[in-house]
A and B are shown apart, each in its own frame.
Chain A
Amino acid sequence: MRRVGSILVVALLSSLPLGAAAPASVARGEEVLVERSTSGTHGGRLVVALRAEPRTLNPAAAADAPSKEVIGRMTADLIHIDRSSQMTEAALASQWKRSADGREYTLTLRKGIRFSDGHPFDADDVVFTFRVLLDERTGAPQRDLLVVGGQPVRVSKVDEYTVKVTMSQPYAAAERLFDSMAILPQHLLKDAYEKGAMGQIWSVATPPAAIAGLGPYRLKEYVAGQRLVLERNPYYWKTDSARRRLPYIDELVFLFTGNEDVQVIRFQSGDSDVLSRASADNFAVLARDQGAQRYQLKDLGPSLEYNFLFFNQNDLSGKNLPQVAAKQQWFGDLGFRRAVSRAIDREAVARLVYRGRAVPLWGNVSPGNRLWVNTSIPRLPRSISEARTILTSSGFSWRPDGTLIDRQGRSVAFTIVTSSSSAQRTEMATLIQADLKELGMNVQIVPLEFRALVDRVFQTFDYDASILGLGGGDADPNGEMNVWLSSGSNHLWRLGQKTPATPWEAEVDRLMEKQLITLDSRERKRLFDRVQTIVAEQLPFIFLAAPHILVGARADLGNFQPAVLDHYTLWNVERMFFRPELRSDRR
C-alpha cells in the first residue's frame, strides 16, 4: 500500500507542469478584485475535451463555439455577467455610473493591473478595443450588439483610468452589453489594426509571446490536431480571500475530439476532467457507470435553449420553387400551424428524446430563464380531436383512407429537414411524423449535413419545414432581438423582410424596440411578456422542449459551480482547484 502511495506521489509530481509561471505577488497600488469566501490550493492541470479544434484565438473574429470557449479563458471584459446569479458584476471596471437619461455610462477602471505579458492596462486599451470592434473592416461579430438605435456607441477616454460610453438613445440593461467584450492589448495590436490586418491576427499557430489578454490564462502551446495548452496568467487581477493570486490551477489543456460521443468517452475514461454539456443519453451512461465515484455529475435544470419546428413562410417570389410555394398556402395558415401544435406530443419529446431531462415548451422563453419567462402562456395538452376541429374550420377535410386534403383536394404532405449531426432533433422529427400521421398528414424526414441545412434555411429557402434550436446566450431579451424583429438575421420563418409581413410581426417589432429603450425593468418585463404571448398565439415557431444542462467534472475538482448560462462549466475556472484529500488515483 505504501509503495502504491509513493508511486502515486511520483506520478503526481511528474504530472505537475515544470516551470509554470509562479503567480506574481500583488503589488502596492494594484487594484485587484478579491473573491470573497474563496479558498483553494494552487497547482495541477485541468483537461477539457473540445468537440472541435478552435479556428482562431482572435476575440474580434471568433464565431465558433470552441474558439470562444478558449478565448473566454484568456480574456476579460469590463462588466461581467455572473453566470450563477445572472446579474452584472464588476470586472475590469471596478465601478460604473449611468447618467440620468440612461445614455451615458462612466466606467472606472482598475488601477495598476497588467496584461498577461506584464504590460500595464489603462483606458487607451479600452478605447482601442471598441475602435477595433466597431470598425467595419474588422468584421467583428460583436459589432451588431454595439450599434444602438442605428448608431454605434461612442467610447472616449476621460483620464488614464476612466472611460465614458455614450449611446444615441437610452438602452436597457446596457451594462450587460460589455459582457464577453474582450479587452485587447493596444501595445500588441496597434500596428496590425492600422494596417487593416485585424482579420489575420492571433491564429492558433501564433507564437504565445505575441498574444496577451487579461483573462486567468495565457497561451502556452498549440499542437495541431491534438491539443492547446494554456498556462496561468501570472498577473491576473483576481485574488482569493487570503489575497493569493488566482487562478489556482496551473495549466488548462484543451484536447480536440471529433464529436460529443468521443468527448464523453474521454471523460468517462478519465482523459478529461470536465464535461461541458452532455446529451441525456450519454448522461445516463455516465450515471450508470458512476460506481467508482470518480466524477460528479450535475443536472442544472432547464437551459435557455428552445427547440422548435417551423415552416417555411419566406417570400419565394424570384425563386424557382413552385413545390414549396404551393405548400406555403398551408404553412401561412394559422389554423394549420395551431392544429400541428395541438397534435404534437411534447411530453413524449421530453421523455423519449431527452429521457425526461427536458421541459416541454409552449413559448420561446424556457422556465430556466426565471426572470423573464411569462408563466401565463397556456400549456395546451395534446388533443387530436381539437386539432381536427381546427383543421376542419380552416377548410381541410379527409379522404376515406384518412389522408388530409386541403380545399383544392391536394393531400397534405411535407418534408422536415433536420441536422444529421443532432440525433435528438431527428428523433423529435420521428415523433412528430407519427403524431401528424394521426391527422392524416404525410411527413417525410430528411436528415441533412448541418451546413447543407443552414444553406437551405438561410439562403435557398428550398425546404418545407425544419427543426432547430436557439437561445442559450444571455437571459436578457436583448439577445433575442435578431430572432423576433421582422428584419432580424434569425427571423427564421421569413427572412429578409423590409417591412413586417403581418400586423402581429409589426406589433412584435414595436414591443421589442420599445423594451430596448425602456429603463424600468418591470415595464420591460411587461413588454416582453406581451411578445411571448403573441408568439405563442401566432406560432411562427412551434416550440417543443428545452433540454436540461447536464455537466460533469472530476470528483476532486473544487469550486465546480456549473451554471445554465454559457460557458456552463468553465466560467469560474480561475476559482477551481483540486482538493488534495480527494485527489483521485486516476492519473
Chain B
Amino acid sequence: MKRAAPIACVLAGLHLVVVLAGFVAPYDPIAQTRALPFAPPVRLHFFDAAGGFHLRPFVYALAPDPNNFDAYIEDTTRRFPVQMMMSGASYRLAPGVESRLHLFGVEEPARLSILGTDGFGRDVLSRLLHGGRVSIGAGLVATFCALLIGVAFGTLAGFFGGRLDTALMRAADLFMAIPWLYLLFAVRAALPLHLDTRTTFLLLVAVLGIVGWARPARLVRGIVLSARERTYVTAARGFGATPGYLLRRHILPQTVGVVLTQAGLLVPQYILGEVTLSFLGLGVGEPTPSWGVMLGNLQQYSVLTSYWWMFAPAVALVAVAISYHALTSIAHERMRLVTN
C-alpha cells in the first residue's frame, strides 16, 4: 500500500505557499517593470566574475541589450546577495493585515525573478503564486459548492425516494447534459460589461459549482439507497428513530468515502475549469493574475516559441492535479479496505 503522508505533505505545502503568496512572492504581481520585458529567469551565482566563491548566492542586475528587444546583459560590476526576510512591496497577508516582509529578495536595482518576467516586466513567480490563490481557490470553493448541493440532493433523493427522487434525478440528467462552457458564455454575455474581479471570481465559482453537483448527487443517492435497506437501519427505524437521526448516525457516514474521492477528483477538474475560462477571456481580467490568464499569453505564437518560462503555470497545474489524484487514489484504497 502506498503511503499517503508524503503526498499529503506536498499538497499541504503547495497550498500553504499559495495562501502565503504575498509573503513568499518577492514582488507585487501587478507591478510592471517596463525596462525588463520577457527577461529570462535570473541566474543565481556562487562564483563572481573574478572567480571568487561566495557561500551566499547572489545575482547581477540585468541591463537591456540596446540592439535586441528581449536580450539582457548581466552587469557584473556589483553583486547583489540574496537576502532572507527582506522588506519590499506591501501586500495584504489577511484581511486588515498589511505587511512588507518578504521571504527572500535582493536589493534594487537587481531583481530576483526566479521564473523570469512577462511582456510587461511583471515577475512570473509572484504572479504564479498570487494566481494560484485565484485558481486553486476557485477549485476548492467550487468543489465545496458542488458537493454541498450534491450531497443534499443525493441524500434527499435516495432516502425519501418516490417523486422527489424522480424529479431530482431528472434534474441531474439535465445538468449533466448542459454544455457548461456555452452556458458560461451566455451568462457572461447577459451580464454588464464592467465586472470587478471579485464578482467575476464568484460568478466563476457559482457556475462551476452549480453545474457540477449532478454526479456526486447520483453517487450519494446510490449509497443512501443501499444503506437505507441495511438491517441495522431497518432495526433502528423499528425502534422509532427519526429520519434525521438515521441520516446522521447510520447513513451519511457511509457516504464519506465517496464524497472525499469526489472532492479529490473535482478540485483539479475545477482548477482546470478556471484555467480554461480565463484562457478564453471569461475569467478574471487583467491585471489580476490567475493561471488561466497567464497561460492565455501562450496563445501568441511568438510567446509560445520564444519564452519557455511562460509555461510555469502549466507545470504548477500538472503538479497540483497529480498530487490530488495520487492522494485520491490512496484515500480510495483505504476506504475500500475500511468498508470491506
Contacts and interface: CB of A to CB of B under 8 A. Distances in A.
Interface string B27-62: 000101010010000000000000000000000000
B281 interface: yes
B287 A355 contact: no
B257 interface: no
A434 B121 CA distance: 12
A281 B193 contact: no
A281 B307 CA distance: 12
A444 B198 CA distance: 13
A281 B303 contact: yes
Interface in B245-293: 281, 285-287
A431 interface: yes
B281 A447 contact: yes
B305 interface: yes
Nearest to A261: B301
Contacts of B301: 261, 264-265, 281-282, 285
Interface in B3-42: 30, 32, 34, 37
Contacts of A345: 34
A288 B307 CA distance: 13
Contacts of B32: 431, 434
A445 interface: yes
B72 interface: no
Contacts of A285: 301-302, 305-306
A212 interface: no
Nearest to A283: B302
B306 A444 contact: no
A446 B302 contact: no
Contacts of B299: 423
B222 interface: no
Contacts of A446: 193-194, 285
A519 interface: no
A558 to B, nearest CB: 29
A323 B195 CA distance: 13
Interface in A343-386: 345, 348, 351-352, 355-356
Contacts of B120: 352, 427, 430-431, 434
A284 B281 contact: no
Interface string A445-462: 111000000000000001
Contacts of A264: 301
Given A447-B281, A463-B193, A430 B303 contact: no
A277 to B, nearest CB: 15
Nearest to B37: A352
A264 B300 CA distance: 11
A433 interface: yes
A429 to B, nearest CB: 8
Interface string A139-182: 00000000000000000000000000000000000000000000
Given A281-B302, A431-B120, A420 B281 contact: yes
A415 interface: yes
Interface in A330-352: 345, 348, 351-352
Interface string B195-237: 1100000000000000000000000000000000000000000
Interface in A85-138: none
Given A281-B300, A446-B194, A447-B281, A348 B305 contact: no
Interface string A414-442: 01010010010011011101100000000
A352 B300 contact: no
Interface in B174-200: 193-196
Nearest to B64: A351
How many chain B residues sit at the interface, stated as a range, is: 20 to 34
User: A-side binding surface: helix, strand, loop or mixed?
Assistant: helix
Given A281-B300, A285-B302, A345-B34, A434 B281 contact: no
Interface in B100-144: 119-121
Contact of A434 (B30, B69, B195): B30
Contacts of B30: 434
B69 A284 contact: yes
A352 B34 contact: yes
Given A345-B34, A420-B281, A415 B193 contact: yes
Residue of B120, B300, B302 most packed against chain A (CB within 10 A): B302
Interface in A401-423: 413, 415, 417, 420, 423
Interface in A457-494: 462-464
Nearest to A260: B301
Contacts of B195: 444
Given A281-B302, A284-B306, A433 B194 contact: no
A288 B193 CA distance: 40
User: B-side binding surface: helix, strand, loop or mixed?
Assistant: loop
Interface string A250-292: 0000000000010011000000000000010110110010000
Given A352-B119, A356-B69, A427-B119, A444 B303 contact: no
Contacts of A444: 194-196, 285
Nearest to B304: A261
Given A282-B302, A285-B306, A434 B193 contact: no
B127 to A, nearest CB: 13
B193 A284 contact: no
B288 to A, nearest CB: 10
Given A285-B306, A352-B34, A445 B193 contact: no
A415 B194 contact: yes
Contact of A284 (B121, B285, B286, B302): B302
A557 to B, nearest CB: 23
A65 B202 CA distance: 41
Residue of B34, B195, B299, B303 most packed against chain A (CB within 10 A): B34
Nearest to A262: B301
Contacts of A348: 34
A265 B300 CA distance: 12
A261 B196 contact: no
Contact of A430 (B69, B281, B286, B302): B286
A433 B69 contact: no
B300 A445 contact: no
A447 B284 CA distance: 12
Nearest to B121: A352
A531 to B, nearest CB: 33
Contacts of A279: 302
Contacts of B303: 281
Contacts of B193: 415, 417, 446, 462-463
Contacts of A423: 299-300
A433 B31 CA distance: 11
A366 to B, nearest CB: 21
A261 B193 CA distance: 28
B11 to A, nearest CB: 33
A90 B303 CA distance: 46
Contacts of A463: 193
Interface in A227-266: 261, 264-265
B287 A434 contact: yes
Nearest to A356: B69
A356 B34 CA distance: 13
Nearest to B299: A423
A431 B31 CA distance: 11
B281 to A, nearest CB: 5
Nearest to A429: B286
Given A355-B70, A427-B120, 10 more contacts: A284-B306, A285-B301, A355-B69, A415-B193, A415-B194, A417-B193, A426-B286, A434-B120, A444-B195, A446-B193
7 contacts: A279-B302, A352-B37, A430-B287, A444-B196, A445-B285, A462-B193, A464-B194
User: Which A-B residue pairs are the 4 nearest by beta carbons?
Assistant: A281-B302, A261-B301, A355-B69, A415-B194
